[in-house]
Structure 1
């Protein structure tokens, strides 16, 4: 007879037909002559109670699997995370702002770059634009752009009109060539979404990778990944320690047994690299009220690093990727909507890559051909822009100096220190639409 409930193989749910069959057997044991046909009142009562018992079994199954990270969801997953010391992360607030150009010069176009830092009055809340906008005096003096808070949580939910200016420090560095032109910023509606939390799948992955001990590579990576804006982390010791005169230099597996006593004597300084890939809209160094990713990762790693072990925080190389292609579409297709959909799909697919993740030609082809109205994609070339930052560790970077456009059918190979990014508002996508 099949066991139900908690077994060696997990929780076995008792089906409703089994519950009803057992109810019939109990009824026959109690009554000598009983009517259990489809029109019997007693049968109807037993069917209703069996259905209720079936729901109870489902609830017991949820309670059982709610005790494990791999199967828990919702509130149960929150409780497990709290027991492990990692609460469910919140999402940043989002909204829209209007940027208005004033006193612009005739014939000149002014670009407000993606990632521009916008601030509120005290207490300061900082937001970053998620797309670049271009303004001019006559044709487009005002533009609306989406913004997101740099720090997650409900503090980023601000009232309408609260976002009032571009951060002065950011303006002096990146917008110093405005001349006599002025930029006025306001948010017509309140920002929102700071009370939202990440999905169960994202939270479960964070909990599954949570380091259970201190003074390890995993705990350092965990601390760095806990910083908002950090996408991926890679730890390595490419030089094999400080003292290269030791006999084990070049042969000891530091990457596999980092921080161990075999790699160094207690009290000796030890240096390792923490390669950080971050949201390119978040500043690497502190700008105005927005603390840089470098400073925040350094502070986070300092809480878990052993005494005498010093991190070298290195910014990953962000490689902007795109494509050039001719797309054949059905007659009557909305070209603007189709391009927007393609951009969004590429942003989602490429945004899921991590350090060293290659951009596959087949993946990009699917982003095109799976759009409604697309008949074919021809002469598709993947593109990569030059790296924006120079520091390189962990050896040579593949493809660092190759041509910016790959041949038809070729993947974009990323080096171990490179992160592929795609900006929906960027110019890397060059698509020509033709009707079939």
Structure 2
């Protein structure tokens, strides 16, 4: 079953009165064969009595924001009070609307109800396991805490229900950045709308299985917020919100996770530490090298106790990803070309049952191996830093700096593995 079939099937089977729901399938693809297949799937469900329509834009500007803006401008939207949004690889359970929409009752200030994501392929490879650690921390700590204490968090772009009035009063979907979800959330927050996060309502989806897809996703997720921060800062400062809410929005929501931590990891572990091996007078205290990063990694991994054995690979990989995040952060802040690129994240399109079948096929292939040539990409920045770190590790060994040697060695090897595209599912 293809990704679009899974999502359309799941949405069409949601438990809600047929005369009180309209499903729009927003297809922005440029492949006519894919368009035909999606139309056929929509027609199939329409013939079963589901109120579903297919929409394809002739002028495909503005990426996802432009697509959503176009869909919300239709005349029939005025007949509805709420809109639930799902990306192409998301599969809501039949009771999704019954678990989310009732929260709006007798709560006129509520603008958004956000569900959390659950990943059908989280155990597919090392890369998906490491992503699961990050995303579990994001949902179970960041989203849940902000929702409980501030009634605000970043909209995740999917698996959420919006009050249409909140969208309209906040300016609707804007095409000015590649993070239209975060954009509308910030503007709605500035307009006084409140959000609720439901950690116990889960929607199945996938995480990228290849490093190339994950790298592009992370670039967009870190360049977009910096674009938005630059655009929203004047509005935040001049808003009528309480000072502590402004401080939270500026320093915690925008700067800490999206700017300060990537900058800290990149400059400390990829630049300063290896260079100190070549300058005898320079020395970094042990707590900077070991205690702080280990503590941060341990806190991130707490929401997923089963992932504790992966704490060392997680720490090393996060330091490696700081290169991509730092580059994205700079491009977003200074409006460089790559910050405006929207690349659709490649997904495998597997449901839970299909993953079991895929695992069986893999076992059969392992029993009867056939040579398959895989093409690995080369990432020059990561390889350059691998060379620097491994050279520094040799210098550290010669100067008998034990702890520095092991860290530089393992971090250098991690950069080498990533630079040669040896992590995650390979793209053939």
Shorter-chain TM-score: what band? under 0.3
Structure number with larger C-alpha Rg: 1
The structure whose RCO (Cα within 8 Å, separation 6+) is larger is 2
The structure with the greater share of residues assigned to helix is: 2
Q: TM-score, normalised by structure 2?
A: 0.20
The structure with the greater share of residues assigned to strand is: 1
Q: TM-score, normalised by structure 1?
A: 0.20
